[in-house]
Amino acid sequence: MILGKFLPPHLGHVHCVEFARRFVGRLTVLVCSLAREPIPGEERFRWMREMFPDCDVRHVTDELPQEPADHPDFWQLWHDAIRRRLPAGPDFVFASESYGTPLAAVLGARFIPVDPARVVVPVSGTAIRADPLAHWRFLPTCVRPYFVKRVCVFGPESTGKSTLARDLARHYGTVWVPEFARGLLDLKDGRCDPDDIPLIARGQPASEDALARQSNRVLICDTDVLTTTVWADLLFGHCPEWIKATADRRRYDLTLLTDVDVPWVDDGQRFFPDERRKQFDRFEAELRTHGRRYVRIAGSFPERFRQAVAAIDALLAGG
């Protein structure tokens, strides 16, 4: 058995589980959470189940004391909670922490220490919570979307959004999320029909969440679902409520609002060459309505890149 908070799961936990599952015939992993903890327990449970589908991963939500000094029956309470999940008790308890020795004794099991000096994987959940970006290399793929800083490049058509997103991703050594609508509408020679809007509203966040797993501290997103709501209204006069609700749920740490002071380029998927200033005002109003943190990006393309880098650097530095 392995017991832990996994707050969050990191490569030290992965090492412990991988070692233990090779040591025994069957491994049970207990994800123990309290309602007051900063990362939802259900999220941690989901991460551990995804990473270790061949283990018996269970979620313990009992409001148990966290230290022996917290309750006179500390060890008995933990014994009872564990035995409710494992009636026969484990044969072995694996841990990198010192609690493994008394816990194993209470359960009548043998304690097996795994990297107690944190030499193999020098990290802790506390260190990651304090500065997840500094410890990025210790985060498993499925955990990264929770901590990644999401930057949305947002604005009217033909304002250099895709070029900026691609260049920023290259600069930060990360991935960028292309505009899903472009690939979809290319199949139709650039024509957008009403029944394309729901597909775009599903495809853009699906692309973003998939690529967040490959990100390196920051994820650069070329547009978002809020953009889809604007275009649905511009092209067809209305937007389905579920798409608006989806846009409301999406969260970005920073939005780069691209101004219209660059030449118009007709690429077959652009519609309103004479209304970009009006579009810009609409896009900015949407950001304000939704309370999004944003920076206006203007000037030449090199100037835009410098402005964007400065804004993202401030974000990554905690500004």
The tens digit of pLDDT for each residue in 15-35 reads 999 999 999 999 999 999 999
Residue 269's pLDDT band, with cuts at 50, 70 and 90, is low
Query: Is 263's pLDDT higher than 80?
Result: no
Q: Across residues 261-277, what is the average pLDDT?
A: 71
Domain made up of 2-134: CATH architecture: 3-Layer(aba) Sandwich (3.40)
Residue 251's pLDDT band, with cuts at 50, 70 and 90, is very high
Cα(75)–Cα(265) distance, integer angstroms = 70
The per-residue pLDDT for 163 is 94
Q: 151: number of CA atoms within 13 Å, CB side?
A: 31
Q: What percent of the chain has pLDDT over 70?
A: 97
Q: Across residues 139-146, what is the average pLDDT?
A: 98
49 versus 97: which is more confidently predicted?
A: 49
Let me know: does 219 contact 149? Beta carbons within 8 Å: yes
Closest CA relative to residue 44, chosen from 139, 137, 118, 116? 139
Q: Across residues 153-167, what is the average pLDDT?
A: 93
- Specify the CATH number of the domain 148-316: 3.40.50.300
Q: What percent of the chain has pLDDT over 90?
A: 87
**Fold equal for 2-134 and 148-316:** yes
Question: What residues contact residue 180 under an 8 Å CB cut-off, 6+ apart?
Answer: 200, 203, 204, 206, 207
- This prediction's pTM: 0.91
Query: Is 157's pLDDT higher than 70?
Result: yes
Query: Is 271's pLDDT higher than 70?
Result: no
Query: Is 319's pLDDT higher than 60?
Result: no
The per-residue pLDDT for 150 is 98
Question: What residues contact residue 303 under an 8 Å CB cut-off, 6+ apart?
Answer: none
Give the mean pLDDT of the chain. Answer: 94
The tens digit of pLDDT for each residue in 51-75 reads 999 999 999 999 999 999 999 999 9
The per-residue pLDDT for 318 is 87
Burial (CB count within 10 angstroms: exposed 0-12, middle 13-18, buried 19+), residue 24: middle
Q: How far is CA 211 from CA 128, 141, 144, 294, in A?
A: 21, 10, 10, 22
**Sequence spans of domains, the chain:** 2-134, 148-316
